[in-house]
Structure 1
Amino acid sequence: MSAVTPPAVARFMAGQGWELEKRREGVREIWRYPSNEEGPGYRYRIMLPLAEDYEDHEERFGDTLIALGRIYDLDPWELLESIRSPGFDAIVIDLHGDGQDAGTVTLIQAKSVMDGFFKLLENAAIRASNPQSSGSGRRSKRVTKYLSEDVIFHGFSRDSLSLMIMSRLRLDRLKVASEEHGRDSYARQVVKTLIGDLTAMHSAADRLRGRPTGRFEDVGLASVNSLASMTGSLDLSAIDFSFHLAAGYEDTRESDVKVTFQRSHLDRIPDLKRALKPATGKWQSAALGESSSAAASIEKPEVAEEVVLQGPVQGVFRTTGDILRGESGGFMMMSAVLDNQMSTVRVRLNSREYSYAIEAHQQAIDVTVRGMLFRSERFSEVRGESVLDLDELIRALRD
């Protein structure tokens, strides 16, 4: 019983929607959980003993904990942990350095780590709110409220280069246990999206050991850029992202998740950025450049169909051939749903469309394209005389 105290249990219950019915100072409190029906009444009622000097206090307090565990369908350890850290998912970042100064970072390096992680979390929050988003662009009020009120910096560890961030769930566990909620809380969706982003980047870095194989639609450029800015100024041998998901909020298969980027993964982040932006910059290896050139040309399209696609602009570019020929149009890379999954599509634009696509990219406005979709084994491209819906885009730019 020494693991928790009556005040801690009272805070837990208050945070879960219980109402204090009556209190006898220093002796006991009566708490009730409101009924599902409209009007007065209660669904559950519990006595919380406060007088720790009573001989039977531990027995009575134990009865209260057993009743809460039964109501929330939590085993004793899950219940105790939920009471000690009510309503938070924990994120721990461990930095493993190399060299003599492996246990220290400069102030500017610490700022890079914090800024980079904030962008990672912000990208995940944007995509949890709008799965069609690339993770960059303007925040919604929901995202701003979460980042401003529900993300708490717990501090750096004294013993190692690690920091802890807490994500507040703000969800009634009892409604989850009784299946009154059909989905996770938004805060839990953000954390799970971040886990997915890190896992996807880790897998993509593994696939970039020689030549790129397959596509990287599950990897967002905004998240890759954030990870790069977070780790770029540090001489790391590895970085661990550990997640502990609070019990009692949903049927979580894995409450503890760890994603580790070794030095070899971090070294391939520049190539991963290049794989997601095939029109700019330089490849870190000739093999990747050769594979990219092959993927960018669709000499024998396997599929051709008329489509209407909507989604955010990842970037715009002109090829060397366009520039040498003096052509003022170019290409746009956009995210769109193909075959029930998010994909990257290349779109050929005329001069006017190209100019507006740049503005759409800068202001994070989704666009609509109509044309013929050609697919090769590794690439998709929309072609047509005028494919970009300029009327819709111009209205969005004016709003």
Structure 2
Amino acid sequence: MNQNLVNDFYALASLIPPEQVSRYLHAQGWELIDRREGLLEEWTEPAAAGREFDSEIHLLPINDGYRDFKRRYVEFLTEVADYYGIDAHELSHRMRLGDADVLLFRLSHIEDLGDSVSIDEASGVLRVAHRMLAMSARYTASPGKEFTGRMRPEAREYIKNHVSLGHTRRGSFVFPILSGPRTGKGPEALFAHRVMENLAIGLHRVQDLIDDIYPAEPDEFTPLVVALAESLQPFAKVPGLRFVDISFRWAPGRGLPRRTPDRAVILGSSSIRKIGASGARVRDILQNRNGDHFTLMASRAPVDSPTSSSVPVLPPTENAEISGQIISLQIDDRRIQNWGTRYSIVIRSQSHDAVLDVQIPVNESDYQRASEARSRGVATTAAGVLSRTDDGLLLEGEVIFDGEWSK
């Protein structure tokens, strides 16, 4: 490697801390095989599905107090760049996109085509991906509406500005599709994350259509499941296709969504055809129940208010927003396993003349900001997924202080 390229990697090592590299590798499917807290991590390259190979171990130094830290760190960054066949500038660009969720389509053929795919087939995959994301965006913005007509503004904004095509990786041809604004903050990031969560849940439920065991009683996800079943059908016509592998990589800062399965969806041509036939039957059932329009309203489960005898109607589970005073600050280590944090706050909000106390998990920084907001008596807003648990109402999302999204 010439000196200019070496200097580029030294410059990159000064800009990006090892912790950010570690989060990027996790999101890209690399395997962490050992960690020595505060010292180093050992990683192996992501294995291509259906292939077995021995991957060498790459050592990521963490402690910059060691004399040879910079040299070893540059060596590690160079190895990662070599794996993807890119330079230091491109590696820096990819790591800055680490706040995006990623939707992955991998096509495996009966005949190994190496690292290429026909332009017609690639166009078909992108059309399927675009349709899936558009339907999930429509569903996320309006759970009770049809998948036709004009998109809601937030869904249009998402498709136009916050979906992009990433770079391919080694092995069978892979289409990485990045979801979310590059900042990874604000209401647009929250909406984009909800779109990907709904898409993941819908795709996993699609698999039940293979054996025609989709629940007889439709729920709020049924229209999305049926629409996704239809959108998969072009893959059944791809010549020589063994299977399509659809998986997700979740933004490192958010982690795996609580309700979302973490297994890839792997479908062969025959399974895709069965899904199409079963989906059409479910669609007919819905149309017979609902008339000419294919629509199913999202459930709105009434719950008892903890401080009132009236029964309020909650907003839709997805994209709920509440505002009110912070009435409680809680620290509970038992919550870490489920929430990924020990901190939570409780906001008291008015809804349909009833009072709702809603618990929201937060990070340590937002916990401190919430403490200040409570002491000043400032109203606080939270937006995200609202659900009922054994302990009451829980909202998982983001908190707004003084009109600005938390950082």
TM-score (norm 1): 0.46
Which structure is larger by alpha-carbon Rg, 1 or 2?
1
TM-score (norm 2): 0.45
